[in-house]
Amino acid sequence: MADQKIKLSKADRFNVMWHSQFLQASWNYERMQNGGFAYSLIPALRKLYPKKDDMSAALERHLVFFNVHPYLVSPILGVTLALEEDKANGAEVQDEAIQGVKVGMMGPLAGVGDPVFWYTVRPILGALGASMAIQGNLLGPILFFVLWNVIRIAFMWYTQEFGYKAGSAITNDVSGGLLQKVTRGASMMGMFVLGSLIERWVNIQFTPIVSKTPLQKGAYIDWNSIPAGAKGIQQALIDQSNGLSLTKFKVTTLQNNLDTLIPGLAGLLLTFLCMWLLKKKVSPIVIIIAIFIVGVLLHVLHII
Amino acid sequence: MNAIQMILVVLVAFLAGMEGILDQWEFHQPLVACTLIGLVTGHLDLGIILGGYLQMIALGWANIGAAVAPDAALASVASAIILVQSGQGTKGIGMATGIAMPLAVAGLFLTMIVRTISTGIAHIMDADAKKGNWRKINMWQWVAVCLQGLRIAIPAALLLAIPASTVRYWLGLMPAWLSDGMSLGGAMVVAVGYAMVINMMASREVWPFFAIGFALAAIKDLTLIALGAIGLALAVMYLALESKGGNGSKSSDNEGTGDPLGDIIDDY
Question: What is the mean predicted confidence (pLDDT) over B93-114?
Answer: 86
Q: At B33, is the pLDDT very low, low, confident or very high (cuts 50, 70, 90)?
A: very high
Question: Looking at CA atoms only, how far is residue A200 from chain B in angstroms?
Answer: 7
d(CA A28, CA B105): 19
Question: Looking at CA atoms only, how far is residue A96 from chain B in angstroms?
Answer: 19
B253 pLDDT exceeds 50? Answer: no
CA distances from A185 to A71, B160, B171, B203, B243 (A): 19, 46, 47, 12, 13
A140 pLDDT exceeds 70? Answer: yes
Q: Which domain holds residue B246?
A: 202-267
Residue B51 CA to its chain's centroid (Å): 10
Beta bridge partner(s), residue A213:
A250
Quick check: is B196 in a domain? no
Burial A199-236 (b: 16+ CB within 10 A, else e): bbbbbbebeeeeeeeeeeeeebbeeeeeeeeeeeeeeb
d(CA B164, CA A131): 30
Residues B70 and B112 in one domain: yes
Quick check: is B142 in a domain? yes
Quick check: is B55 in a domain? yes
Question: Looking at CA atoms only, how far is residue A126 from chain B in angstroms?
Answer: 7
Residues B240 and B159 in one domain: no
Residues B172-202 pLDDT 10s? 888 888 888 888 888 888 888 888 888 878 8
- pLDDT of A302: 82
Residues B167 and B211 in one domain: no
A100 pLDDT exceeds 50? Answer: yes
Using the Cβ of A233 and the Cβ atoms of chain B, whether some distance falls under 8 Å is answered with no
Number of domains in chain B: 2
- pLDDT of B188: 86
- pLDDT of B260: 54
Q: What is the mean pLDDT of chain A?
A: 86
Could you report the predicted ipTM of this complex, rounded to two decimals?
0.84
Give Rg (Cα) of chain A. Answer: 30
Instruction: Give chain A positions within 8 Å (CB) of B207.
Output: 191
Residues B40 and B152 in one domain: yes
Residues B228 and B128 in one domain: no
Quick check: is B100 in a domain? yes
Dihedral sign for Cα B74, B76, B77, B83, please. positive
For residue B7, the tally of other CB atoms under 10 A from its CB is 13
Residues B142 and B235 in one domain: no
Residues B142 and B254 in one domain: no
Residue B67 CB burial class (10 angstroms; 0-12, 13-18, ≥19): exposed
Question: Looking at CA atoms only, how far is residue A224 from chain B in angstroms?
Answer: 37
Residue B202 CA to its chain's centroid (Å): 20
- pLDDT of B234: 94
Question: What is the mean predicted confidence (pLDDT) over B66-83?
Answer: 86
Q: How far apart are the two ends of chain B, measured CA to CA in Å?
A: 73
3-state secondary structure chain B: CCHHHHHHHHHHHHHHHHHHHHCCCCCCCHHHHHHHHHHHHCCHHHHHHHHHHHHHHHCCCCCECCECCCCHHHHHHHHHHHHHHHCCHHHHHHHHHHHHHHHHHHHHHHHHHHHHHHHHHHHHHHHHHHCCCHHHHHHHHHHHHHHHHHHHHHHHHHHHHCCHHHHHHHHHCCCHHHHHHHHHHHHHHHHHHHHHHHHHHCCCCCHHHHHHHHHHCCCCCCCHHHHHHHHHHHHHHHHHHHHHCCCCCCCCCCCCCCCHHHHHHHHC
Select from A106, A194, A258, A282 the residue whose CB has the most chain B CBs within 10 Å, as the one to mutate to test that interface. Answer: A194
- pLDDT of A118: 87
Quick check: is B195 in a domain? no
Cβ contact B62–A114 (<8 Å)? yes
Select from B21, B28, B31 the residue whose CB has the most chain A CBs within 10 Å, as the one to mutate to test that interface. Answer: B31
- pLDDT of A74: 94
Residues A38-92 pLDDT 10s? 999 999 999 999 999 999 999 999 999 999 999 999 999 999 999 999 899 888 8
- pLDDT of B147: 94
> Who has greater pLDDT, A304 or B229?
B229
Select from B23, B101, B220 the residue whose CB has the most chain A CBs within 10 Å, as the one to mutate to test that interface. Answer: B23
Select from B24, B225, B241, B242 the residue whose CB has the most chain A CBs within 10 Å, as the one to mutate to test that interface. Answer: B24
Q: Which residue of A has its CA nearest to B209?
A: A192
Quick check: is B122 in a domain? yes
The angle at the Cα of B15, spanning B12 to B21, to the nearest 5 degrees, equals 140
Residues B211 and B169 in one domain: no
Whole-prediction pTM: 0.82
Cβ contact A141–B212 (<8 Å)? no
Cβ contact B138–A184 (<8 Å)? no
Q: At B248, is the pLDDT very low, low, confident or very high (cuts 50, 70, 90)?
A: very low
The Cα diameter of chain B in Å comes to 77
Residue A290 CA to its chain's centroid (Å): 25
Quick check: is B192 in a domain? no
B257 pLDDT exceeds 50? Answer: no
* CB contacts < 8 A (A, B): 369
Half-sphere exposure in the Cβ direction for A160 (13 Å, CA): 26
Last residue of a domain, one of B129, B160, B175: B175
- pLDDT of A96: 86
Residues B128 and B227 in one domain: no
- pLDDT of B63: 67
A209 pLDDT exceeds 60? Answer: yes
B231 pLDDT exceeds 70? Answer: yes
- Interacting residues of A85 by C-beta distance below 8 A, sequence separation 6+: A6, A7, A8, A44, A48
Residues A212-249 pLDDT 10s? 777 777 777 777 777 777 888 888 788 777 777 777 77
- pLDDT of A170: 64
Quick check: is B191 in a domain? no
Q: What is the H or E stretch that residue A285 is in?
A: helix A284-300
Which candidate from A27, A263, A298 shows the least CB-CB separation from B115? A27
Instruction: Give chain B positions within 8 Å (CB) of A27.
Output: 21, 115, 118, 144
Among A17, A183, A28, A172, which residue's Cα sits nearest to residue A100?
Answer: A172
Residues B167 and B241 in one domain: no
Cβ contact B214–A114 (<8 Å)? no
Q: At A258, is the pLDDT very low, low, confident or very high (cuts 50, 70, 90)?
A: confident
Among A58, A154, A130, A134, which residue's Cα sits nearest to residue A99?
Answer: A58
> Who has greater pLDDT, B23 or A3?
B23
> Who has greater pLDDT, A188 or B61?
A188
Selected residues 16-35 of chain A with any CB under 8 Å from a CB in chain B: 21-32, 34-35
Question: What is the mean predicted confidence (pLDDT) over A109-119?
Answer: 82
What is the three-class DSSP state of A249?
strand
- pLDDT of B25: 92
Which candidate from A53, A138, A279 shows the least CB-CB separation from B199? A279
Residues B124 and B233 in one domain: no
Residues B11 and B46 in one domain: yes
- Interacting residues of B44 by C-beta distance below 8 A, sequence separation 6+: A138, B35, B38
